[in-house]
A and B are shown apart, each in its own frame.
Chain A
Amino acid sequence: QKEVEQNSGPLSVPEGAIASLNCTYSDRGSQSFFWYRQYSGKSPELIMSIYSNGDKEDGRFTAQLNKASQYVSLLIRDSQPSDSATYLCAVNIFHGGSEKLVFGKGMKLTVNP
């Protein structure tokens, strides 16, 4: 199993719909979870962080974490064309005595007007 997995996508939703992005991870000891957004040709930018089970809401974005099932998701409500980007899930993974942040390959989201 890969350390951090995201559905390969791409995902296409109409404007105003809810976009749901999912991510699973392999390390049960992981404590920190992040969602980054990356526009084409740009650098990743942090949009959400979550550290405990449950939901965390920030405007139109909601991150959901379930440590028992080892998945983290991102919901985008009232999707806008400006949300069209690649979304990267990142999880801290313990590796041979040290830990590092491991990124999924990303899910490309297109919001159609």
Chain B
Amino acid sequence: DAGVIQSPRHEVTEMGQEVTLRCKPISGHNSLFWYRQTMMRGLELLIYFNNNVPIDDSGMPEDRFSAKMPNASFSTLKIQPSEPRDSAVYFCASTFGDSSYSNQPQHFGDGTRLSIL
């Protein structure tokens, strides 16, 4: 079975540029999560979707960050404009649940290592 697929695996760009990260959840999963991981702050939840609807975006750091889920098999996380402090590993995860949050384990993609110069 295909797991959660993220692209790109690595992204290096200059400050001020727009960055778009992509995620394809596991087929049949209806909850999708975006996380950011840094040494200082650990793994932080940015936003999660249930049935393509954003449920909690309280973790999104500021207006420069936006996320969409146009259909059940695709989501994007966009940073515009990007800043050096956005450098981190961004993970997408998915699971299945019948409510806005599931107690089922989350399955993670391989992540996108983002470096903003």
- Interfacial residues, chain A to chain B (CB-CB below 8 A): 31-32, 34, 42-46, 49, 51, 88, 92, 95-96, 98-106
Contacts and interface: CB of A to CB of B under 8 A. Distances in A.
Contact of A46 (B33, B43, B91, B106): B106
19 contacts: A31-B103, A32-B103, A43-B91, A43-B108, A43-B109, A43-B111, A44-B43, A44-B108, A46-B106, A51-B103, A95-B56, A95-B58, A98-B100, A100-B48, A101-B106, A103-B44, A104-B42, A106-B42, A106-B43
B6 to A, nearest CB: 9
Closest 6 CB pairs of A and B: A105-B42, A32-B103, A43-B108, A103-B43, A46-B105, A99-B101
Contacts of A43: 91, 108-111
Nearest to B92: A43
Nearest to B33: A101
